[in-house]
């Protein structure tokens, strides 16, 4: 069954995470994504290990888990864009593409004649997505941007972690992931616009812009209330009780979002009087008296195991759950039922694990067509497929080192 974007061609000039996350999402939706990499080393993340995928002989390959996480359903072409012939191949590929995604520094591709203005001349319908740390303009435009840096500069670390400890980044490069998703959204919107107008466009996506936009209620808490939010650990700034609590054998999440849920929790906890207490009778009051209520709840929750609490609270519709490590996640019955761990055929390892796309579509479901590619695995194939080059031309480019094959 053809994917929703099976008619779309994507030229991926990005590396590391934000750009590849966007192009993997497009590839999962059926787009033909050509990943252009540097001969010899390829995407930086190929070497970001251990761990590395194990081959059929049980020994580590050169494919890092990091690279595998964000490059499935793509074809790899290794092209030296420092050479004029390499630049010409990129221009030819761009002339045949619907979307181009790149994350070079601002102006970085202009030296190769591959800026948006350059590519637009040969393909005015191109949707050209530029991902940078700080955007195409402004006082920081020339700076390199990394997820960790942006989590700090963008305010996320100021609201993450123990209030009495050091500032903490999120345990996943979340700004990169969110930037990839916003890039995908923008590219799809641009495709819809092009369908009506025939026009392509340049999309400028910045990690800092995305991070600030994704501060969500915390940003609005400041803009409306005038006070910068502070770190609260696992507590929620606007809802109580909504945090982790100790149990007799660990911890659990209690995520009470309304007064009805609080009342039911109090009944299960054997403290129905809390729901009638003037200090706790509604969420506004509970936020005001957070410290008093949290201390009371902590004393009660520590009497039962996590499993006992979850079983009792689920029966009455009170949101709660364990704090799983990642091994627990993939062993969870719901995760197993939803098929979030998939296996894909790999050219050297036999199979490689992957985390399933969360997109479930009835008419055009995601398909796992290709394992993350070896460096230059599809160089000859793509040059013949997209550019209709004959064998002699492809072999010449391989001999001259303009292109390399896996």
Q: What is the pLDDT of residues 121-168, one digit of tens each?
A: 999 999 999 999 999 999 999 999 999 999 999 999 999 999 999 999
Burial 77-113 (b: 16+ CB within 10 A, else e): bbbbbebeebbebbbbbbbbbbbbbbbbebeebeebb
H or E element that contains 100: strand 99-102
Cα dist from 175 to 3, 62, 151, whole Å: 27, 27, 7
> 18-28 and 174-197 helices cross at what angle (nearest 10)?
50
Residues with Cβ < 8 Å from 304, sequence gap 6 or more? 247, 248, 312
Question: Has residue 58 got a pLDDT over 90?
Answer: no
Cis ω on the peptide bond leading into residue 102 (within 30° of 0)? Answer: no
Torsion over CA: 97, 99, 103, 105 (sign): positive
Mean pLDDT of the chain: 96
- Residue 212 half-sphere exposure, CB side, CA atoms within 13 Å? 11
Query: Where do the structural domains in the chain lie, given as residue ranges?
Result: 9-214+337-404, 242-325
Catalytic residue among 44, 176, 204, 331: 176
This prediction has a pTM of 0.94
pLDDT for res 80: 97
Specify the DSSP class assigned to residue 143. S
- Give yes or no for a contact between 376 and 77, defined as CB atoms under 8 angstroms apart: yes
Name the CATH topology of 9-214+337-404. Rossmann fold (3.40.50)
* Structure tokens, 299: 């004393």
Superfamily of domain covering 242-325: formyl-coa transferase, domain 3 (3.30.1540.10)
Average pLDDT in the 228-234 region? 93
- Give yes or no for a contact between 245 and 252, defined as CB atoms under 8 angstroms apart: yes
Same fold across 9-214+337-404 and 242-325:
no
Residue pLDDT, tens place only, 286-314 = 999 999 999 999 999 999 999 999 999 99
pLDDT for res 2: 85
Q: Cα–Cα distance between 83 and 105 in angstroms, integer?
A: 19
Q: To which residue do tokens 């400890």 refer?
A: 165
pLDDT for res 55: 87
pLDDT for res 54: 92
pLDDT for res 169: 96
Question: Has residue 261 got a pLDDT over 90?
Answer: yes
* pLDDT range class, residue 62, cuts 50, 70, 90: confident
pLDDT for res 61: 86
Question: Has residue 406 got a pLDDT over 80?
Answer: no
pLDDT for res 56: 85
Q: Of 33, 29, 7, whose CA–CA distance to 19 is shortest? A: 33
Question: Has residue 51 got a pLDDT over 80?
Answer: yes
- Give yes or no for a contact between 341 and 368, defined as CB atoms under 8 angstroms apart: no
* Structure tokens, 340: 């979030």
Residue pLDDT, tens place only, 64-123 = 999 999 999 999 999 999 999 999 999 999 999 999 999 999 999 999 999 999 999 999
Cis ω on the peptide bond leading into residue 31 (within 30° of 0)? Answer: no
* pLDDT range class, residue 343, cuts 50, 70, 90: very high
pLDDT for res 301: 97
> 391-399 and 379-387 helices cross at what angle (nearest 10)?
140
Annotation says 176 is catalytic: yes
Q: Cα–Cα distance between 221 and 234 in angstroms, integer?
A: 17
Q: Cα–Cα distance between 43 and 124 in angstroms, integer?
A: 28
pLDDT for res 60: 86
* pLDDT range class, residue 59, cuts 50, 70, 90: confident
pLDDT for res 271: 97
- Give yes or no for a contact between 53 and 102, defined as CB atoms under 8 angstroms apart: no
* Structure tokens, 287: 């936020």
Question: Has residue 1 got a pLDDT over 80?
Answer: no
Percent of the chain with pLDDT over 70: 100
- Give yes or no for a contact between 171 and 164, defined as CB atoms under 8 angstroms apart: no
């Amino acid at each position: 069954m053809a994917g929703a974007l099976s008619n779309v061609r994507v030229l991926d000039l990005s590396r590391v995470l934000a750009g590849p996350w966007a192009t993997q999402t497009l590839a999962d939706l059926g787009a033909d994504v050509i990943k252009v990499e540097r001969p010899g080393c390829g995407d930086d993340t190929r070497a970001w290990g251990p761990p590395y995928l194990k081959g059929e002989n049980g020994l580590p390959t050169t494919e890092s888990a990091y690279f595998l996480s964000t490059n499935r359903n793509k074809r790899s072409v290794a092209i030296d864009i420092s050479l004029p012939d390499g630049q010409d191949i990129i221009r030819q590929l761009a002339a045949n593409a619907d979307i181009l995604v790149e994350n070079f520094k601002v102006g970085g591709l202009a030296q190769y004649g591959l800026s948006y203005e350059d590519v637009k001349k040969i393909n005015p319908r191109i949707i050209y997505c530029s991902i940078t740390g700080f955007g195409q303009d402004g006082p920081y435009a020339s700076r390199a941007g990394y997820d960790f840096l942006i989590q700090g500069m963008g305010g996320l670390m100021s609201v993450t972690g123990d209030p009495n400890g050091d500032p903490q980044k999120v345990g996943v490069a979340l700004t990169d992931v969110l930037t990839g998703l916003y890039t995908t959204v923008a590219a799809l919107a641009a495709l819809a616009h092009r369908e009506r107008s025939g026009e392509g466009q340049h999309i400028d996506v910045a990690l800092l812009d995305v991070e600030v936009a994704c501060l969500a209620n915390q940003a609005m808490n400041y803009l409306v209330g005038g006070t910068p939010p502070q770190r609260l650990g696992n507590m929620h700034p606007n809802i109580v009780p909504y945090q982790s609590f100790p149990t007799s054998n660990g911890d659990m999440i209690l995520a009470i979002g309304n007064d009805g849920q609080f009342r039911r929790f109090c009944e299960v906890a054997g403290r129905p009087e809390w729901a009638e207490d003037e200090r706790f009778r509604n969420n506004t009051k509970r936020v005001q008296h957070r410290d008093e209520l949290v201390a009371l709840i902590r004393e009660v929750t520590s009497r039962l195991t996590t499993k006992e609490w979850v079983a009792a609270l689920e029966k009455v519709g009170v949101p709660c759950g364990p704090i799983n490590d990642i091994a627990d996640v993939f062993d969870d019955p719901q995760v197993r039922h939803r098929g979030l761990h998939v296996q894909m055929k790999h050219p050297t390892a036999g199979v490689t694990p992957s985390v399933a796309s969360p997109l479930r579509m009835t008419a055009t479901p995601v398909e796992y067509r290709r394992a993350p590619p070896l460096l230059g695995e599809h160089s000859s194939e793509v040059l013949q497929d997209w550019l209709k080059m004959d064998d002699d031309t492809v072999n010449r480019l391989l001999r001259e080192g303009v292109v390399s094959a896996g």
